[in-house]
Amino acid sequence: MNLINKIKKIIYKLLKKSEKWTKTDMIYLAKGGFWLTLGQGFSSLSAFLLAIAFANLLPKEVYGNYKYILSIAGILAIPTLSGMNTAIVQAVARGYEGSVIPALKTKIKWGLLGGISSLALALYYFLNDNTTLTISFLIISIFIPFMDSLSIYSSYLNGKKDFKNLSKYNIITTIISILIMLTVIFFSKNIFLIIASYFASNTILRLIFFKLTFNKNILNDKKDKNTISYGKHLSLMNVLNTVSFYLDKLLIFHFLGATELAVYSIAIAPSEQIKGLIKNVNILALPKFSSHKFGEIKKNLNSKIIKMIITLFIISATFIIFAPLLYKIFFPQYLEAVNLSRLFSISLILFGPIIILLSFFQSKEKKMILYQYNIIKPIIKIVLLAILVNFFGLIGVITATIISYLLELLFLFFRYYFLEAETQ
C-alpha cells in the first residue's frame, strides 16, 4: 500500500511539473482524460472489430446499403436537437441541473418529427418497390425520437465532470451493442436484423443508464431559462452541418453505388476512430472553459493548439507509413482503400485545433460566431462535394473534406484573433 502511495505521489509531482510546458491543468486532464481515453479506446476497438466483421463477412453491396441507411437515419435525427446536449453540459457545469428533464422532454417531442419523416420515407420506398429501404425505415421510425434523446444522461455526467461513470456507461453500452451486432452478422447476413439490433440495443441500454444516472443523482431545482433556447440555437446551427457530414455518403451511394460507399467507409474508418479520441478534448474542455473567464483561457490556448497540431502530424505520418500493412492484415478485401485512407488521415492534423476552438466558442455562448461557422462550413463542404465527386470520384470526396477542414480552421482562427483583440 505504501508503494502504491509513493507511485501516486511521484506521478502527481511529474504531472505538476509538466504543467509548465503544457500550460494545462494536468491533474484534471489525467483524471478525466484517463477515463475518457479508456472509454473511447473500448469504443474504437469495438468499432474496429465491427468494421473487420463487415469487411470480411458481408458483401460490399450489403455493407454499402447499411452505411447509406445509417446516414439517412443521422439526418432524420436532426429534430432530436443534438445541440441540446452541449447546452446541458454548459448548464450543469454552472449548477443548473434542473434544466435536464425539460431538455429531455423537448428533445423527444421534436424527435417525433424524425420518426414521422422516417415513416414518410418508408412509404416513398414502398411506392417505388424498394422492400429493403421500406422495412429499414419502418424499423428506424420506432427508435428515432428516443435513441439520441436518452443519451442526455451523458451530457449531465460530462457537466458534473464525472468522467469515470460517463466512460464506464459508454464502455458497457459499446461492448454489449457491438457484441449483439457481431452475433447477428456472424449468424445472419440479414440487413433488417443488423439495423434492428443496432437501434434497439443502443436505445434500451441508454434508457437503462439514464435511469441509473438519475436514480443515483438527485437533480437540484435550479434552471437556467436560456438553456432550452441555447440548445435550440445550437441545434439549428448544426442542421446544415449534419447534412454536410452525411452528404458524402449519400452522394457516393447515388452517383457511384453501394460498393464504392463500402470502400469509402473502410478507407475513412481508421482516421474516424482517431477523431473519436480527439473529441475527448471537447468533453474535457467544455466544462473547464465554461467555468473560466476568457482572459484566463487565452493565455495558453495558442500553445495548446500548436502542440495539438504537432502531435496529430506525427500520428498521421505514422499511419501513412503503416496503412498498407494494416489493410493487408485486417481488410484484405479492401486493398483499394489504402491510398484513400492515407490521404484522408491528413484531415486529422486540422481536426484537432478545430475541436479546441469550437469548445471555446461553445463554452462562452458565442452564438453569432457559431452561427456563422455552422452556416459557412457546410455550404463550402456541400459545394466542394457536389463538384469534386463528379470529376474525381472517391478521391474528390476526400479532397473536398480536407479543403473544407482547412477553411474551417482558418475561419475559427480569424474569429478567435479578432475576439481576442476586442477583449484587450
The amino acid at residue 109 is K
Handedness of CA 119, 260, 250, 180 (dihedral sign): positive
CB 359 within 8 A of CB 89: no
Q: What is the pLDDT of residue 33?
A: 57
Distance CA 97, CA 148 (A): 19
Q: What is the pLDDT of residue 8?
A: 47
Handedness of CA 324, 53, 262, 174 (dihedral sign): negative
Q: What is the pLDDT of residue 421?
A: 47
Helices (H), 79-190: 83-93, 100-127, 131-147, 152-159, 163-187
Angle at 273 between CA 271 and CA 275, to 5 degrees: 70
CB 44 within 8 A of CB 247: no
Q: What is the pLDDT of residue 143?
A: 97
DSSP labels for 12-76?
HHHHHHHHHHH-S-HHHHHHHHHHHHHHHHHHHHHHHHHHHHHHHHS-HHHHHHHHHHHHHHHHH
Enumerate residues 6+ apart whose C-beta is below 8 A from 254: none
Handedness of CA 381, 383, 389, 392 (dihedral sign): negative
DSSP secondary structure letter of residue 254: H
Give the N- to C-terminal CA distance of the chain in Å, as an integer.
51
Distance CA 235, CA 216 (A): 29
Q: What is the pLDDT of residue 332?
A: 94
Q: What is the pLDDT of residue 125?
A: 94
Q: What is the pLDDT of residue 308?
A: 86
Angle at 162 between CA 159 and CA 168, to 5 degrees: 125
Tens digits of pLDDT across the chain (424 residues): 454 455 445 544 554 555 555 455 545 555 555 666 677 677 778 888 888 999 999 999 999 999 999 999 999 999 999 999 989 998 998 899 999 999 999 999 999 999 999 999 999 999 999 999 999 999 999 999 999 999 999 999 988 988 889 889 999 998 899 999 999 998 988 999 999 999 999 999 999 999 999 999 999 999 988 899 989 988 988 888 889 889 999 999 999 999 999 999 999 999 998 887 787 676 566 666 665 666 666 667 777 788 889 999 999 999 999 999 999 999 999 999 999 999 999 999 999 889 888 878 877 767 788 888 888 889 999 999 999 998 899 999 999 999 999 999 999 988 887 765 454 4
Q: What is the pLDDT of residue 15?
A: 47
